[in-house]
Each structure stands twice: as C-alpha cells, then as structure tokens.
Structure 1
Amino acid sequence: YILCTAFSTTSALTDWSSVFYSVIYTSVPTIVVGIFDKDLSHRTLLEYPKLYMAGHRQESYNLHLFWLTMIDTLWQSLVLFYVPLLTYSNGPVDIWSIGSLWTISVVVLVNVHLAMDVHRWVLFIHLATWGSIVITYICLVILDSIPRYPNY
C-alpha cells in the first residue's frame, strides 16, 4: 500500500477498523481454535510420549515449509491488495471503501485459512470462526454509518 501512496502516511483503514482487526476479527478465532482444537486426546499423548518426537525431528515444520508459507503469504497479500484496487481503480470508489473491502477480504481469508487447519470442529470453533466474519460485516456497517468517520 505504501508504494501506491508514494510513502505518504495516509491509511485506507480507520483507526477502529485496525483495532478491531487485531483484537476481535482475527485473534478471537485463533485463540478459540488454540484452546478447543485437539488432534489427539490428552490420554493418547500421555500414553505415547514418542508422538512428541516428530516435533523434535522437525518432521511437521521445517525450513522448507517455512519458506513455502512465506511465498504463499506473499501471493495471498498481492492478490488481496491488487484485485480490489485494480477492479475499482477507474470507478467512484474512494480509498476508505477500498479499505473496508480489504478488511473484509483479509478477515475471510484468515478465518478460512484457519478453518483448513482445524482437526476437530466443536461449537465454539464454529461460533468464533464464522461469527468473526459476520461480526466484521456488522462492525463495518456500524462504523460506516457514523457521520464523524471517513467512510460515512
């Protein structure tokens, strides 16, 4: 974004959108999945301590997978940034509206990506993951209807 704005300090997101993104839209589903998603039961892990050795031998996560994840992240960020920007570049859409679209796109992407890694779906994970996307829409509509904010 900074390259497209010639290194200016303008932002396409309102302050509240940035705060809600960090605190509500993406952190709550991640925390809930971290608490409730279990690929193996507590009893199984205690009975078979050798299961922990895969982590020590870097079988599950290694340098190759790290760089693959970095390339995938770069690709996703380029698509999420340029597709809306180029789609609406000649239209009457202002930077704040594009910022709202970017917020929704990123929240959907983050939560769908998180959902692909869930091993065991429970009610709380469903509520946090899909509820976060719904809450994003609701919050953006509320923020965009306040006359003091740029998206009004």
Structure 2
Amino acid sequence: MSRLLVDADAIRALAEILTDTGLTEIEIAEKDNRIRVVRAASPVAHAVPAPAPVAAAPVAQPVAPAAPVADLSKHPGAVTSPMVGVAYLAPDPSSPPFVTEGQQVAAGQTLLLIEAMKTFNQIKAPRAGTLSKVLIESGEPVEFGEALVIIE
C-alpha cells in the first residue's frame, strides 16, 4: 500500500502566495507530485439600510437604466492574460512603462510582464495598432482570460 506524503511547508507557502497576491487558486507540479491550493472567495456582507421615515410622497422621477458593464475581454482589440500571475507595466519600478495609452504599438512589441512562479513572461502585442486603454495597474494580480489592454 502506497503512502501519501504531504509537504505541509509547501502548502503553507502556496497559501501565503494566495493571500499576498489575492489569487484564488494556485497549483505546482514536480515529477510525480502535484499540490493545488484553492481559497474560497470571501463572502460579501451586504448592509441593508434602515428605511428612512417618509414625510410626504414625492413625485417619482423616471430613472434611466444603468448601462450594462461591458465584458472587455470580448472586445475585438482586447489583449487577454494567458495565465494567472502578477502584471507589471515596466521592467522594474524605476523604469518607464513598456507602453502608454495613445501610443502606436507594433506586432510583437512587449506590452507588459506577468510574473508567475517567479518567472517573468512577456506579453506581446498580437498586432499593430494604437494602445487605446490600459485596463490594469502595475503590481496587480491578473486571472487567465482577463483583459489587460485594448489595441485599436
């Protein structure tokens, strides 16, 4: 009968990475061993305000419906994250960003970096165009498929 060995220190380290980065899931694999740590999303508490006393019935004004929030990952010019990690807009904190909004970019030009498992991965422009919008902040955790920038 085989015996399962659990590396508690590795699990603690992965859990700490989840906490530090705000990610909800992380997995590592080495040879025949695989460790996956998933953190449940914290429940959101909704405060219900107490009803205000009504003095007189005001005439109700028509309210325009709120515009739906567009899923920017579906935008035709969206460059999405190919992985989970931490995004950086510059090669280091003292350097200028790789690109800025309004800048012309060439196909294959580095737009940003995503750090995953201590490895920095270059995210390159899939095509030439104008960088119309940067949707993330430097040092922000990103998820797979999340829209990072828009190229028009």
TM above 0.5, yes or no, is no
Instruction: Give the structure with the higher percent strand.
Output: 2
The structure with higher relative contact order (CA 8 Å, sep 6+) is 1
- TM-score, structure 2 normalization: 0.23
Bigger Rg over Cα: 2
Instruction: Give the structure with the higher percent helix.
Output: 1
- TM-score, structure 1 normalization: 0.23
